[in-house]
Amino acid sequence: MINAWIRSFSIRFRMVGAILTVLALLALVSGVGLWGMGRLHRVSDGFMAGTHARTMDAVALERQLGNIRRHEKDLVIHLDSAEAAARHQALWNTAVQQATQMAQRLGQGSADAGATAAAAVAGALADYAAKAAPVLTQAAAGGFATAALADRALEPAKTPIHATEAEVGKLLTHLKAQQEAAAAELAGASSLAHLLFAAAALVSALVVVPLTLANMASICAPVAQARAVAERIATGELSQEVQITGNDEISALLRSLAGMQHALQSLVNEVRQSASSVQLASSEVAAGNSDLSSRTEQTASSLQQTASSMQQLTVNVRSGADAAATANQLASSASDVARRGGEVVSQVVSTMDGIQTASRRIGDIIGTIDG
């Protein structure tokens, strides 16, 4: 049924349709792949520009808080050196300033728990800086005799810095959760892209493979049928009817082969009739040849007899020629005799006339006597 429906279209139309179908499926697969890649890029770019960048800033902020505490400790330890204390104070001020900027940057661009934690970090850091800066300035100026006194003076600032570190920990926890969520989203997008790509490939295979097989069968089977018909015609088998279905080029070829088969059947019938006529004529010619052979044999025998007769006739003619020569001599002699006989005959005629006259007289006398 499907084969007959497919063969209702020409091979050229089927090939063009197959090409268009393959192109459409390729476009589908390419579109799905591009969409999946675009989604992966968007998720990846969002992760890199958002969560990953904020995480890196939070890690840098945590590192900077460590630098602040380190510079603070270094300044307290180096109270005996005004130059070292001033250098560490300057480093501490720079670290505090950079940490404040990082905290403020982390609090921008979002309104989630991370932004709240970043704002809390910025507040706690400002509180720490406000409490620690005077003490460190005094320590750098030599206002404390020992490091223990300076460290004790920094006790009020330790609570805000501890709070800052705790808030940074919360921020890192939140960002880690966001990283995990982004990683899950990225994995989901990748899985979806792979699934859609596999589905598109499967749909392409389910469409292309059956259509290709059906199209191949609709071409190969009629070609095999046409070859079988041609082989039967080549071997002289012209009685089997050619089955033709469809309207494609191979169907036209089969119709041409069927027409050729019918023409050959008519030609073979005519040749067969002509052969019968030739056979009959050959029989008649053979009979005529047999009769002619018999007559030829009779004629040959007659010719042999005629040859013998001709030989005898030649002998007779030769004898006749001799006899003619003799007769010619005799004729000359007879001519003389005849001339003399003519004279005698003339005399006899005269005598006969006289006798006739005498006979008439005797007749008259007898008539008179009878009367």
What is the pLDDT, as a whole number, of residue 181? 82
* Cut 0.75: pTM above it: no
pLDDT digit string, tens, across residues 259-311: 887 888 788 788 788 877 878 877 776 777 777 677 767 766 765 776 566 67
What is the pLDDT, as a whole number, of residue 97? 92
The C-alpha atoms of residue 28 and residue 204 are separated, in whole angstroms, by 9
What is the pLDDT, as a whole number, of residue 277? 81
The answer on pLDDT for 361 being more than 60 is yes
How far from 251 is each of 88, 196, 256, 292, CA to CA, in Å? 98, 42, 9, 59
What is the pLDDT, as a whole number, of residue 92? 92
* Phi and psi at residue 272, to the nearest 5°: -65, -45
Q: What percent of the residues of the chain are helix, what percent strand, and what percent coil, each to the nearest 5?
A: 90, 0, 10
The answer on pLDDT for 317 being more than 50 is no
Mean pLDDT in residue range 91-105:
89
pLDDT digit string, tens, across residues 235-268: 877 777 777 777 777 778 878 877 887 888 788 7
pLDDT digit string, tens, across residues 200-231: 888 888 888 888 887 787 788 778 878 887 88
The answer on pLDDT for 94 being more than 90 is yes
pLDDT digit string, tens, across residues 100-136: 888 888 777 666 667 787 788 888 889 988 998 998 8
Confidence of residue 91 (pLDDT cuts 50, 70, 90): very high
* Token pair 């403020």 in the structure block, residue: 104
- Listed by start position, the domains of the chain span 2-226
Q: Which residues make Cβ contacts (< 8 Å) with residue 106, sequence separation at least 6? A: 54, 57, 58, 61, 114, 115, 118, 121, 171
The C-alpha atoms of residue 351 and residue 357 are separated, in whole angstroms, by 10
What is the pLDDT, as a whole number, of residue 328? 59
The secondary structure of 107-169, three-state, reads CCCCCCHHHHHHHHHHHHHHHHHHHHHHHHHHHHCCCCCCHHHHHHHCHHHHHHHHHHHHHHH
pLDDT digit string, tens, across residues 137-181: 888 887 887 888 888 888 888 888 888 888 888 888 887 887 788
The C-alpha atoms of residue 128 and residue 85 are separated, in whole angstroms, by 19
Highest mean pLDDT: which range of 25-34, 95-104, 287-296: 95-104
Mean pLDDT of the chain: 78
Confidence of residue 327 (pLDDT cuts 50, 70, 90): very low
The C-alpha atoms of residue 186 and residue 178 are separated, in whole angstroms, by 12
Mean pLDDT in residue range 323-343:
59
Which of 171, 170, 101 shows the shortest CA–CA distance to 129?
Answer: 101
Q: Are 122 and 89 in contact (CB under 8 A)?
A: no
What is the pLDDT, as a whole number, of residue 320? 57
What is the pLDDT, as a whole number, of residue 17? 81
